[in-house]
């Protein structure tokens, strides 16, 4: 129970990797606030599953790319729980397409949710973390933010942006006891990756030294480590969890 | 009253119990506070007086007297 008494906000926490992270943190004692824009049923199912682990949990619907919605969400949490010890910036979307055909709106939407969302959520919680001289933020980047990927100019740019953001923010607030790291998942089984064309999926597989796709829980294990005291001397890093795909 | 409270915040925030702090004192020049510490002091002042101080106003502060006058003006109009 390494996270007992801590409260954690997980954006995009109702499904996929975010849900696996929320469950993993809950299993280790943290109270969980799930943020998502999923339907009520999906949010409720995730909350029920987390509560079964014996921790507090509630779901808050808010668009991470909307400043006032993020501010309201964070104010509510701070008022109710008194603190946010852990922020997992996981919310993300794809709008894939070849660069020559990519609509500006698809570029902008992906940048808004994936990168601006990280900025807005981090900015909103950092003040409280700095005051408490303690806090831990993990941003979910992607292996394609390191390697690039055809058809994902918008997504990979947003995920590469997260890596730069993580380094800068870690340098800014390290002296205030706040650590910020990133995890770069490779090809992980989720609803989002399931929708990729078969040809793309099998091409990925050819390039994974460990010879298989990853599981969301394998990403969650690394996120858990980065939230725990035993990673106390690690900040500003991006850790690939990709079976060697980015090598 | 505003200046005294601000002085208290600065001493508390920066651990400067014995430092000489006057209206003419500059946070960054005289107290050698780095930019992040200065922002933290401003954040504490915002919390204490329940006001928001925009960046462009912060940049105009030359010394602690300026900050105290600014807060007084915000609170009392």
Dump pLDDT digits (tens) for A171-187: 999 999 999 999 999 99
- Closest alpha carbon to A43 in A25, A65, A18: A18
Q: What is the mean pLDDT of residues A77-106?
A: 96
Residue B3: per-residue pLDDT: 94
Q: What is the dihedral of CA A13, A169, A125, A227, to 10 degrees?
A: 50
Cα A30 → chain centroid? 16
Active site residue B34: yes
- pLDDT > 90: percent of chain A: 92
Query: Which of chain A's residues have a Cβ under 8 Å away from the Cβ of B44?
Result: 131
- DSSP code of residue A236: S
Q: How confident is residue A198, by pLDDT bands cut at 50, 70 and 90? A: confident
Q: What is the pLDDT of residue A234?
A: 98
Sheet holding A7-11, edge to edge: A57-61, A31-36, A7-11, A86-89, A135-140, A178-185, A238-241
DSSP A61: E
Model confidence, pTM: 0.91
Check residue A41 and give its pLDDT. 94
Which structure tokens are listed for A223? 């996120």
Q: In whole angstroms, what is the distance from residue A60 CA to residue A33 CA? A: 7
Residues A84-91 have a mean pLDDT of: 98
pLDDT band at A54 (very low <50, low <70, confident <90, very high): very high
A131 close to B (CB below 8 A) = yes
CA pair distance B35, B52, nearest whole angstrom: 18
Record: contact A131-B43, CB cut-off 8 A? yes
Task: Kindly list the distances between the CA atom of residue B20 and the CA atoms of A37, B5, B7, B17, B27, in Å, as whole numbers in the listed order.
Answer: 53, 15, 10, 9, 12
Confidence of residue B32 (pLDDT cuts 50, 70, 90): confident
- B46 contacts chain A (CB < 8 A): no
- Say which range, A52-56, A208-212, B13-17, has the weakest mean pLDDT: B13-17
Nearest chain B residue to A171 by CA distance is: B36
ipTM of the predicted assembly exceeds 0.85:
no
Supply A122's token pair. 């981090």
A67 pLDDT band, cuts 50/70/90, is very high
């Amino acid at each position: 129970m390494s996270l007992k008494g801590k409260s954690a906000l997980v954006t995009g926490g109702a499904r996929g990797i975010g849900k696996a992270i929320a469950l993993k943190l809950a299993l280790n004692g943290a109270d969980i606030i799930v943020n998502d824009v999923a339907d009520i049923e999906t949010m409720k199912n995730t909350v029920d599953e987390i509560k079964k682990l014996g921790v507090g949990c509630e779901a808050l619907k808010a668009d991470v790319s909307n400043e006032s919605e993020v501010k309201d969400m964070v104010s509510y949490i701070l008022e109710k729980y008194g603190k946010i010890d852990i922020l997992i910036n996981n919310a993300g979307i794809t709008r894939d397409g070849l660069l020559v055909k990519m609509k500006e709106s698809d570029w902008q939407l992906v940048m808004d949710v994936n990168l601006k969302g990280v900025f807005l959520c981090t900015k909103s919680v950092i003040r409280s973390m700095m005051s408490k001289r303690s806090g831990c933020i993990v941003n979910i980047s992607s292996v394609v933010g390191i390697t690039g990927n055809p058809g994902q100019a918008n997504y990979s740019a947003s995920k590469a942006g997260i890596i730069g953001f993580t380094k800068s923010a870690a340098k800014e607030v390290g002296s205030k006891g706040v650590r910020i790291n990133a995890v770069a998942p490779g090809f992980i089984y989720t609803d989002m990756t399931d929708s990729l064309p078969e040809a793309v999926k099998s091409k990925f597989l050819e390039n994974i030294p460990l010879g298989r796709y990853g599981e969301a829980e394998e990403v969650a294990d690394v996120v858990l480590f980065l939230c725990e005291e035993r990673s106390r001397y690690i900040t500003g890093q991006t850790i690939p969890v990709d079976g060697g795909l980015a090598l | 009253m505003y200046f005294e409270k601000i002085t208290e915040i600065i001493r508390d925030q920066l651990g400067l119990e014995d430092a000489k702090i006057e209206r003419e004192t500059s946070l960054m020049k005289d107290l050698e506070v780095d930019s992040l510490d200065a922002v933290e002091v401003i954040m504490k002042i915002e919390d204490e007086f329940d006001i928001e101080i925009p960046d462009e106003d912060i940049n105009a502060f030359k010394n602690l007297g300026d900050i105290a006058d600014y807060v007084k003006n915000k609170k009392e109009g």
